[in-house]
């Protein structure tokens, strides 16, 4: 790990990290999206062969009901027990988050103002491929969407070399009543869900993590539908001092390196701990600070995806943390419990975007609608004010739309 100063250029560069949209990636993704837009399913088959090395027919893109049900034959029974525990925790957390509609009525003039919440009709969920099935991504995205009231969930995930989807992913999707699952990955899957093809339906929002091509595709299709966030490489920052267990610090920093391009940062007041960690962990950064207040300032500027506070009394400083996707307190709250079982979604802001955004929640799947109802008495009460403001902005027709209601 590199030791860097709080005021150094390297620290500033760390704070300024964000998603670098390489021109090569941008252009590749642009062409893929355009191809999917023009040729639909034919383009999806082409890119599945090119990138996933799998020859599929259009009719085999969608996972069949038989494949979904057959998935249970290829998984261990105790996996379902563990899965149900995770689903229970995630469900319990998000049920508490459900917002309530409200109404305000003025009894004197009859004004009624309402804010009501409407779930999105459909979402597209992307589950990355790779060497292992990311089953947690499925329930960490689908559960809050279902609790919010989303009616239709479509899932895309790359096929393996056999042209199938991992049975664990299918079992989770089946338990959560995912409506449709497709063996399509990469930027082409994002384009398909955003634009729609003959086989894959167009959705209202695309959610889920992915590589730089998937992320760039989400950036480019925004506007055709909504997206959750532009997620970059996974991150962890740890605040530790002389009282922290170095073995726990090392384990959590190393765990982050399992993610492709994962970023690990240790913020510490202890020079001794810094020297020890530097020898034991190869990747990442160490920021030496004078005290815990300075540690808090460092973290707020970095705005990490995950923050672990491993000092003696973490509750004393947690209220001062303004920018972090998720915070883990004490030696027995490793980030991994948030990844899998705690309850809140592990889909979190990265690249410093925790300064202005939050992790996936119920609110990502709900629209707010405002309802305004005025009586004639209520409109008369604000008539002069509305006309004055409309005249000030030079909008004569706006002014007239109120005035006409009081002409004899």
Q: How many helices (H) and strands (E) does the chain have?
A: 16, 14
* Contact present, 331 and 248 (Cβ < 8 Å): yes
From the list 168, 235, 305, 346, the catalytic residue is 305
Q: Which two tokens stand for residue 69?
A: 């049900």
Q: Which residue has the tokens 């086989």?
A: 199
CA 181 → CA 173, 189, 345, distances in Å? 8, 11, 21
From the list 306, 380, 398, 407, the catalytic residue is 306
Does the annotation mark 306 as catalytic? Answer: yes
Phi, psi of 238, rounded to the nearest 5 degrees: -125, 125
DSSP state of 5: -
* Contact present, 253 and 281 (Cβ < 8 Å): yes
Sheet with 226-227, side-by-side order of all strands: 180-182, 152-156, 122-126, 205-207, 226-227
Helix (H), strand (E), coil (C) string for 16-47: CCCCCCCHHHHHHHHHHHHHHHHHCHHHHHHH
CA distance 141 to 123: 10
Q: Which residue has the tokens 């005290």?
A: 291
Active site residues: 305-306
């Amino acid at each position: 790990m590199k030791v860097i100063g709080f005021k150094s250029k390297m620290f500033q560069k760390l704070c300024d990290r964000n998603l670098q949209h390489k021109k090569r990636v941008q252009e590749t993704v642009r062409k893929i999206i355009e191809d999917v837009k023009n040729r639909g399913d034919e383009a999806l088959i082409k890119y599945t062969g090119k990138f996933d090395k799998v020859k599929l027919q259009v009719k085999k893109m969608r996972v069949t009901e038989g494949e979904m049900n057959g998935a249970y034959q290829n998984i261990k029974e105790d996996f379902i027990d563990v899965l149900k525990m995770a689903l229970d925790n995630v469900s319990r957390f998000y049920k508490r988050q459900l917002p309530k509609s409200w109404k305000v009525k003025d009894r004197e003039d009859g004004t009624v103002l309402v804010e009501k919440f409407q779930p999105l009709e459909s979402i597209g969920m992307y589950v990355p491929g790779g060497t292992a099935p990311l089953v947690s991504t499925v329930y960490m995205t689908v559960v809050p969407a279902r609790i919010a009231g989303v009616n239709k969930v479509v899932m895309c995930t790359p096929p393996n070399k056999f042209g199938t989807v991992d049975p664990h992913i299918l079992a989770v999707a089946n338990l959560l009543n995912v409506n449709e699952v497709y063996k399509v990955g990469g930027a082409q899957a994002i384009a398909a869900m955003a634009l729609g093809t003959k086989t894959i339906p167009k959705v209202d929002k695309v959610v889920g993590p992915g590589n730089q091509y998937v992320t760039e595709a989400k950036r480019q299709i925004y506007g055709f539908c909504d997206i959750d966030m532009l997620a970059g490489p996974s991150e962890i920052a740890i605040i530790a001092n002389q009282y922290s267990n170095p073995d726990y610090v090392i384990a959590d920093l190393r765990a982050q390196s399992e993610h492709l391009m994962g970023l690990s940062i240790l913020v510490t007041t202890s020079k001794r701990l810094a020297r020890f960690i530097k020898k034991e962990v190869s990747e990442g950064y160490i920021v030496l600070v004078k005290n815990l207040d300075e540690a808090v300032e460092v973290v707020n500027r970095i705005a990490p995806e995950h923050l672990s506070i491993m000092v003696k009394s973490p509750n004393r400083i947690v209220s001062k943390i303004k920018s972090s996707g998720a915070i883990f307190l004490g030696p027995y709250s490793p980030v991994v419990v948030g990844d899998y079982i705690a309850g809140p979604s592990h889909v979190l802001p990265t690249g410093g975007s925790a300064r202005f955004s939050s992790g996936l929640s119920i609110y990502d799947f709900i629209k707010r609608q405002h309802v305004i109802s005025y009586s004639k008495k209520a409109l008369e009460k604000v008539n002069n004010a509305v006309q004055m403001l409309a005249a000030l902005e030079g909008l004569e027709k706006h002014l007239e739309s109120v005035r006409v209601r009081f002409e004899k």
